[in-house]
Amino acid sequence: MRKIGILTGGGDCPGLNAVIRGVVEKCATAGIEVFGFLDGWRGVLSARGRWLTVKDVEGIQTQGGTIIGSSRTNVMACENGPETIVEVMNAMGLEGIIAIGGDDTLGVANMMSKQGTNMIGVPKTIDNDLSCTDNTFGFDTASNIAMEAIDRLQTTAKAHSRCIVCECMGRHTGWIALQAGLAADAHLVLIPEFPMGFDEIVSLIRRRYLRGERFTIIVVAEGFSLKGADEIDLGTDAFGNKLLMHKNLAKNLSDMIERAMRADPLLGADAQHFECRPVVLGHIQRGGAPTAFDRVLGTRLGIKAGELVIEHRYGRMVAQIGNSIVDADLDKAVTVRKEVDRDFYEAASLYFK
Ligand code: F6P
């Protein structure tokens, strides 16, 4: 009897359960048993998990989270981490592992693969920043959640003539911020790929104010860095440490905008009461049921991963290119980050006004 393991690692992501279901269903067609390790690589290191049957995965594509749990476990930092993985696999009779994860989780799979252990990667991140695939599942759900939140911020910002700075997830890239911001008509989207100075940001809000549009929605990706941020004095904490812009990014930006607008002599007396509020969407973006797009993409990727197992084609990552599900180079996927391209940013910036 052929047997494989499966795990979900890193931040959870709507669509993970669809992948698990696709893998289990496809493997079952060839009589291959699937062991679901609990909590990502941590579960492999301690041989914890359970066998997953077709019955176990019935209908789970509708649920967020992951039925086998997740963790951020750095196998390299664990004593004899890679050796333990091989020992556990041998003891359980597993011929390979399907690792569903982002750059960290797939990085381990890639390293194990290079050392001769059978691995297949499934790209996962709401951030959408993995290369060799057009989309990662979870991104669509996260962007839709952020879009709906920004739609709501529009009406309250307008009612109070306020500026609202809405922070979206995206540690290294601005995919969610730009997708959601463009869809919900944000007046400015700030992303890591295209740094901007504070003066440019305030002058947009000021221009809007002067033409009678006294509310502004700014969407910022959490990884955004303000040009010249190091020179900005935000004061110190209780221990005298310099406060950093990227910690509390939305709050810092919001406070700075409020101060700058209130102090602007050209805006008139009303502007002395100008208000700006920070909103951090945080983990709400990762929670809840996946969209149809993510359920289907996850399912198709899972089926493809199962197909690679059946065909003994290890060392690959499944991916979406156009409308096809293909297999791609695992090594390249984890070493090159997919950033927002200038074309997309420029198209969106037509609406920065
Ligand atoms: O990598 C996905 C992601 O959601 C990032 O956008 C975010 O910075 C991070 O995970 C948050 O991680 P955690 O759940 O560990 O706080």
- Nearest CA residue ID for atom 11, ligand 1: 11
The two structure tokens encoding residue 321: 């290119």
**Ligand 1: distance of its center to the CA of 55 in Å?**
31
Poorest-pLDDT segment among 71-85, 231-245, 334-348: 231-245
| Residue 161, C-beta contacts closer than 8 angstroms, at least 6 positions apart | 214, 215, 274, 275
**Ligand 1: distance of its center to the CA of 188 in Å?**
23
Digit-coded pLDDT (tens) for 138-158? 999 999 999 999 999 999 999
Q: What is the pLDDT of residue 228?
A: 84
Q: What is the pLDDT of residue 332?
A: 85
Is residue 80 over pLDDT 90?
yes
pLDDT exceeding 70 applies to what percent of the chain?
Answer: 100
Domain ranges of the chain: 3-138+290-335, 140-287
Instruction: State the CATH class of domain 3-138+290-335.
Output: alpha beta
Question: Which one of 8, 126, 280 would you pick to mutate in the ligand 1 pocket, going by the greatest count of ligand atoms within 8 A of its CB?
Answer: 126
For the four alpha carbons of 65, 71, 76 and 81, in that order, the dihedral sign comes to negative
- Nearest CA residue ID for atom 3, ligand 1: 11
Digit-coded pLDDT (tens) for 282-304? 999 999 999 999 999 999 999 99
Return the number of other C-beta atoms located less than 10 Å from residue 73's C-beta: 22
Is residue 239 over pLDDT 90?
no
- Nearest CA residue ID for atom 12, ligand 1: 11
HEC sequence for 223-250: CCCEECHHHCCCCECCCCCECCCCCCHH
Same fold, 3-138+290-335 and 140-287: yes
**Ligand 1: distance of its center to the CA of 66 in Å?**
15
Ligand 1 atom closest to the Cα of residue 126 is 2
**Ligand 1: distance of its center to the CA of 11 in Å?**
6
CA distance 200 to 217: 15
Q: What is the pLDDT of residue 73?
A: 93
User: Mean pLDDT across the chain, nearest whole number?
Assistant: 95
**Ligand 1: distance of its center to the CA of 263 in Å?**
36
Burial annotation 289-316 (CB, 10 A radius, 16+ → b, else e): ebbebbbbbbbbbbbbbbbbbeeeebbb
Ligand 1 atom closest to the Cα of residue 171 is 8
Tell me, what DSSP letter sits at residue 137?
B
Helix (H) or strand (E) holding 257: helix 249-262
Please tell me whether the overall predicted TM-score, pTM, comes out greater than 0.75 for this model: yes
| Residue 29, C-beta contacts closer than 8 angstroms, at least 6 positions apart | 306, 310
Ligand 1 atom closest to the Cα of residue 170 is 6
Which CATH number applies to 140-287?
3.40.50.460
Report the pocket of ligand 1 as residue ranges, CB < 6 Å: 11, 102, 125-127, 169-171, 222, 286
Residue closest to 14 by CA, chosen among 79, 72, 62: 62
Three-class secondary structure of residue 115 per DSSP: coil
Where in the sequence numbering do the catalytic residues fall? 127
